[in-house]
Amino acid sequence: MNNLSPGALVADERSIQVVLDRMLDGYSVMISMAEGELTRVLADATVATLDEAEMIARKHAGENNFPWHKVAVVCR
Protein backbone atom coordinates (compact mmCIF):
# COMPACT_ATOMS: atom_id res chain seq x y z
CA MET A 1 0.00 0.00 0.00
CA ASN A 2 1.37 3.44 -0.84
CA ASN A 3 0.66 6.73 0.86
CA LEU A 4 0.50 8.79 -2.33
CA SER A 5 -2.54 10.73 -3.31
CA PRO A 6 -3.94 9.89 -6.77
CA GLY A 7 -2.40 13.01 -8.36
CA ALA A 8 1.01 12.80 -6.66
CA LEU A 9 4.10 12.45 -8.84
CA VAL A 10 6.82 9.94 -8.14
CA ALA A 11 10.42 10.32 -9.30
CA ASP A 12 9.91 7.96 -12.27
CA GLU A 13 7.24 10.29 -13.69
CA ARG A 14 9.73 13.15 -14.10
CA SER A 15 12.38 13.57 -16.77
CA ILE A 16 14.81 16.28 -17.79
CA GLN A 17 16.12 16.63 -21.33
CA VAL A 18 18.99 18.85 -22.46
CA VAL A 19 19.25 19.67 -26.18
CA LEU A 20 22.55 21.13 -27.43
CA ASP A 21 22.87 22.63 -30.91
CA ARG A 22 26.16 23.87 -32.36
CA MET A 23 25.91 27.48 -33.58
CA LEU A 24 28.37 29.93 -35.13
CA ASP A 25 28.83 31.77 -31.85
CA GLY A 26 28.77 28.78 -29.46
CA TYR A 27 26.05 26.39 -28.39
CA SER A 28 22.32 26.69 -27.98
CA VAL A 29 21.19 24.88 -24.83
CA MET A 30 17.56 24.16 -24.04
CA ILE A 31 16.63 22.34 -20.85
CA SER A 32 13.11 21.02 -20.39
CA MET A 33 11.44 19.07 -17.62
CA ALA A 34 8.47 16.76 -18.02
CA GLU A 35 6.29 16.02 -15.00
CA GLY A 36 3.46 13.67 -15.79
CA GLU A 37 1.80 15.16 -18.86
CA LEU A 38 3.20 18.68 -18.34
CA THR A 39 6.45 19.90 -19.90
CA ARG A 40 8.14 23.19 -19.08
CA VAL A 41 11.32 24.88 -20.25
CA LEU A 42 13.82 25.41 -17.43
CA ALA A 43 16.39 27.29 -19.53
CA ASP A 44 16.98 28.40 -23.11
CA ALA A 45 20.30 30.12 -23.72
CA THR A 46 23.31 30.46 -25.99
CA VAL A 47 26.69 29.79 -24.38
CA ALA A 48 30.27 29.84 -25.65
CA THR A 49 31.34 26.32 -24.63
CA LEU A 50 30.00 22.85 -23.91
CA ASP A 51 31.36 23.20 -20.37
CA GLU A 52 29.08 26.20 -19.81
CA ALA A 53 26.14 24.26 -21.21
CA GLU A 54 26.82 21.36 -18.86
CA MET A 55 27.17 23.72 -15.89
CA ILE A 56 23.75 25.26 -16.63
CA ALA A 57 22.16 21.83 -17.09
CA ARG A 58 23.64 20.48 -13.83
CA LYS A 59 22.47 23.60 -11.97
CA HIS A 60 18.88 23.20 -13.14
CA ALA A 61 18.83 19.46 -12.46
CA GLY A 62 20.09 20.11 -8.92
CA GLU A 63 17.61 22.92 -8.29
CA ASN A 64 14.82 20.50 -9.22
CA ASN A 65 16.20 17.64 -7.10
CA PHE A 66 16.77 15.54 -10.21
CA PRO A 67 19.76 13.16 -10.34
CA TRP A 68 22.29 14.15 -13.02
CA HIS A 69 22.85 10.57 -14.16
CA LYS A 70 19.19 10.42 -15.27
CA VAL A 71 19.30 13.59 -17.41
CA ALA A 72 18.90 12.85 -21.15
CA VAL A 73 21.38 14.87 -23.24
CA VAL A 74 20.88 15.26 -27.00
CA CYS A 75 23.64 16.81 -29.15
CA ARG A 76 22.72 17.84 -32.68
| Nearest of 35, 55, 48, 43 to residue 19 by alpha carbon | 43
Backbone angles phi, psi at 36, to 5 degrees: 65, -120
pTM as predicted: 0.78
Each residue's pLDDT, cut to its tens digit, for the chain (76 residues) gives: 455 555 555 556 899 999 999 999 999 999 999 998 999 999 999 999 999 999 999 999 999 999 999 999 999 8
CATH 3.10.20, domain 12-75, yes or no: yes
